[in-house]
């Protein structure tokens, strides 16, 4: 028995309501462990639960973070006592001016730029860290398109863990520096994200005390995305929206928002009203949109070429489940050009005072396209997920925006520049 096996078998896992890992393809159940693929059919494993009775009042009385939903997550009941980044409970903004610009009546923006490292990835990493601690790991690791690198490096620093973060060497400067500052081991790889991801899978097999958040502890990590769905419902006054637009990289987030809505209905925390889920991709990396539009069930991998680097996964692991979700709920998957992405970043900023990264531009531009093509009902309540901060992708907008004029320090010169 290796040290880590000994440590793990000596340890009583407390993963709260989590019961087992369940294969998404064949339903095979295995005990909770650091596994991600079914031994029977190689299908992806997902956390299955035995939920107790959960009430709205209990949740509302909980911490002002994702831990208010701890009884719906694979984390111990005392999770908030361990050092973590405690993300979540970001604002849900009623976006009336954006709604008017897009020609819809009831629109909300879920502003996940407000998380500790300014993207929704803090949610998934916080859950992965909490589960990895229970599973006996000591190092937090990941392959990343950028936001995950930030979140892993910060969470590891806060927990006093070592981190190993692998990124494509072409990543935005801001995302490199905002990871490196936490002083973990950051390695830039000459290759694209899919190369980096393959490398991580190889390394995970050899380093048994490294928790690669999105590889060997992926089933737990992925559950963190459910908190976006829970928060949207709670913040709407314990109701489900009628339509939601979600950006798609690996596709995990989209499927988990749907899982959250279904769980809330099953647990009587909301009325199980119908909702439609829409996926958003950039044209330069739109394998899921292409499969949806062609009516296919399998995803043809692509080589990404888009400014939306946080969504640039050419071989999305959860792509087929995104197709299932949007087809079952009556939604769709659309894609938008890089130019539309930049225009949409500026539209959101101009109308709501929210500066989103390129992934947010993808969501807003896709919503616009879905409205124009009649796929989104302009009278139905719609939520857009804005998952990352524009300060991370300044390069996408720097050629388009800037001061109106540079003038000498005189009020006459300012008035002249303003055309007064």
Work out how close the CB of 148 gets to ligand PLP at its nearest, in angstroms, rounded to a whole number: 6
Say if residues 251 and 317 touch (Cβ distance below 8 Å): yes
Answer for which of 71, 117, 252, 306 binds ligand PLP (CB under 6 A) is 252
Residues 69-98 that bind ligand PLP (CB under 6 A): none
The answer to whether 29 contacts Zn ion (rule: CB under 5 A) is no
Answer for which of 250, 325, 366, 393 binds ligand PLP (CB under 6 A) is 250
d(CA 113, CA 176): 18
The answer to whether 41 contacts Zn ion (rule: CB under 5 A) is yes
From the list Zn ion, ligand PLP, none, which binds 28 (C-beta under 5 to 8 Å, kind-based)? Zn ion
CA distances for 349 relative to 344, 360, 419, angstroms: 8, 11, 24
The answer to whether 25 contacts Zn ion (rule: CB under 5 A) is yes
DSSP code, position 66: G
From the list ligand PLP, Zn ion, none, which binds 359 (C-beta under 5 to 8 Å, kind-based)? ligand PLP
CA angle 64, 65, 71 (to 5 degrees): 105
Looking at the Cβ atoms of 39 and 413, the one nearer to Zn ion is 39
Q: Phi, psi at residue 119, to the nearest 5°?
A: -155, 170
What track of x and - describes contact with ligand PLP for positions 137 through 166 (by CB under 6 A)?
----------x-------------------
Say if residues 310 and 254 touch (Cβ distance below 8 Å): no
Q: Phi, psi at residue 394, to the nearest 5°?
A: -60, -30
Work out how close the CB of 404 gets to ligand PLP at its nearest, in angstroms, rounded to a whole number: 30
The answer to whether 253 contacts ligand PLP (rule: CB under 6 A) is yes
Binding range to ligand PLP, per CB under 6 A, among 35-43, 197-205, 230-238, 248-256 = 248-256
CB atoms within 10 A of CB 405: 10
Whose tokens are 């199980």? That residue is 272
Q: Give me 299's structure tokens.
A: 């995803």
The answer to whether 359 contacts ligand PLP (rule: CB under 6 A) is yes
Q: Give me 182's structure tokens.
A: 């936490």
* Residues at the contact surface with ligand PLP, assessed by CB under 6 A: 119-121, 147, 225, 247-253, 310-311, 357, 359, 387-388
């Amino acid at each position: 028995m290796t040290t880590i096996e000994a440590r793990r078998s000596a340890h009583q896992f407390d993963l709260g309501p989590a019961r087992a890992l369940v294969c998404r393809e064949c339903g095979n159940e295995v005990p909770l462990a650091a596994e991600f693929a079914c031994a029977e059919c190689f299908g992806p494993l997902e956390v299955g639960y035995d939920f107790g009775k959960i009430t709205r009042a209990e949740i509302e009385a909980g911490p002002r973070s994702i831990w208010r939903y701890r009884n719906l997550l694979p984390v111990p009941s005392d999770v908030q006592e361990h050092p973590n980044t405690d993300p979540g409970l970001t604002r849900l903004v009623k976006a009336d001016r954006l709604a008017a610009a897009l020609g819809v009546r009831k629109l909300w923006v879920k502003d996940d730029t407000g998380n500790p490292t300014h993207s929704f990835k803090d949610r998934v990493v916080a859950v992965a860290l909490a589960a990895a601690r229970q599973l006996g790991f000591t190092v937090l690791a990941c392959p990343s398109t950028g936001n995950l690198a930030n979140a892993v490096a910060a969470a590891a620093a806060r927990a006093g863990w070592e981190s190993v973060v692998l990124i494509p060497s072409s990543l935005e400067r801001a995302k490199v520096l905002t990871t490196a500052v936490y002083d973990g081991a950051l390695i830039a790889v000459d290759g694209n994200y899919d190369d980096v991801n393959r490398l991580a899978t190889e390394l995970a097999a050899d380093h048994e005390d490294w928790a690669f958040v999105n590889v060997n502890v992926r089933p737990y990590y992925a559950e963190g995305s459910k908190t976006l769905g829970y928060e949207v419902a709670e913040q709407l006054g314990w109701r489900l929206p009628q339509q939601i637009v979600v950006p798609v990289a690996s596709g995990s987030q989209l499927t988990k928002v749907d899982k959250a809505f279904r769980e809330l209905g099953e647990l009587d925390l909301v009325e199980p009203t119908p909702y439609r889920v829409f996926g958003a991709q950039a044209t330069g990396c739109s394998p899921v949109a292409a499969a949806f539009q062609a009516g296919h069930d399998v995803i043809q991998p692509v080589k990404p070429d888009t400014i939306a680097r946080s969504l640039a996964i050419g071989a999305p692991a959860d792509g087929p489940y995104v197709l299932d979700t949007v087809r079952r709920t009556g939604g769709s998957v659309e894609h938008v050009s890089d130019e539309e992405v930049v225009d949409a970043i500026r539209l959101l900023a101009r109308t709501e005072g929210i500066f989103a990264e390129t992934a947010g531009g993808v969501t807003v531009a896709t919503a616009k396209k879905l409205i124009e093509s009649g796929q989104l009902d302009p009278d139905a309540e719609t939520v857009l997920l804005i998952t990352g901060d524009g300060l991370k992708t300044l390069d996408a907008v720097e050629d388009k925006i800037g001061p109106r004029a540079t003038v000498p320090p005189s009020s006459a010169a300012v008035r002249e520049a303003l055309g007064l």
